[in-house]
Amino acid sequence: MHTILITGAGSGIGKATAELLSSRPNTRLLLLGRRIEKLQEVLNSLENSSSHSIASVDVSDKNQLISFLNSSEANLKSHPLVGVFANAGIGGPNVFGPDDKWQKIIDINLTGAYNTCMAAYPWLLKAGEEGIDLRHIAITSSCLARFGVPGLPAYISSKTGIMGLVRGLAVEWSKSGILVNAIAPGWVDTEMARSSIQGHADMLGKSYDEMLSEVCSVLPTGRMSEPSEIASLVNYLFSASQKSITGVTIDINNGSWMG
C-alpha cells in the first residue's frame, strides 16, 4: 500500500482531495491540519477510514513534520510515500505595524510548504529506491500570485514564492523521479473564501449574496469553482499517466487570469 500526505486536510480543497484520493486502490492517506476535530470528521467520511491517519501538525515547525513522518503512526517504512499535497495555508489582510500578520502568513503558507517538501524528501527518495519510478508533489498557490490585489501583501507574496519554490525543487528533484508542481486556484467555494466574501460585504454594507454576485460577475465563467474540481486536478497530477509536467503552476481560476 502506498501513502499520500495532505496538509490542510481538515476543510475545503484539502478535504475534497482526501475524499477523492481515498477512493484510489492501494492508497492510504496521512491527513495533517491544525484542528484535530476537523480532521476526524474528514477521516470518518473516507472510504476505508481505518487505513488512513490524522495528526495535528504545525507546518511552520519543521521539527513537528520530521517527527511525525518518522513516527510509527506515519509508518512510511512499510507504506512508501508517493505523493505530497502541500495545501496548508491561511489568508487575510496584513498591515505594517505592531499587529502585522506578515510573518505568520509567510511562515505557514510559504515556509510551511517548504518544510513539508523537505521533510518528505527523504521518504520520497526511499520510495524511489524501492522501485517506485514516479513520485509527485503539488503545492497550493493562488491566482492572486498572478495579478495581486490591495491589502494582501503577505498572502500574495507567500503564494508567489510558491511558484519559485516549485521551479527550484523541480530542477533539483525531477531527475530522481519526483515531479513538483503548483496549482493556482481562483475563487473556490471554501470556508476561507466565504469568510473573505463576507468580510468585503461587511465593509461595503452589502449582503453576502450581493457580494458573491459581484465577485462572480467579473469572472468569464460567472462562477466559483467547487473544491472537488481542484481535487480532480491534484488527482491527475498524482496519476501514473502524468510523467511530463514539472516545475509549473497550473491555473484553475474560471478565467480570472489567462496568462
pLDDT in tens, 49-97: 999 999 999 999 999 999 999 999 999 999 999 999 999 999 999 999 9
User: How far apart are the C-alpha atoms of 141 and 174, rounded to whole Å?
Assistant: 20
Helical axes 153-173 vs 112-129, angle rounded to 10°: 20
CA separation, residue 214 to residues 150, 224, 229 (Å): 17, 12, 22
Predicted local distance difference test score (pLDDT) of residue 72: 95
pLDDT in tens, 183-200: 999 999 998 889 889 988
Predicted local distance difference test score (pLDDT) of residue 91: 92
Multiple choice CATH, 2-185+226-251, 1.10.260.40, 3.40.605.10, 3.40.50.300, 3.40.50.720: 3.40.50.720
Predicted local distance difference test score (pLDDT) of residue 196: 86
Which helix (H) or strand (E) segment is 83 a member of? strand 81-86
Q: Is the pLDDT of residue 176 over 90?
A: yes
Q: How many residues appear in the chain?
A: 259
Whether 17 contacts 234, CB under 8 Å: yes
Mean pLDDT for the chain overall: 96
Nearest partner of 8 among 195, 231, 169, judged by Cα: 231
Whether 174 contacts 121, CB under 8 Å: no
* Extents of the domains making up the chain: 2-185+226-251, 187-224
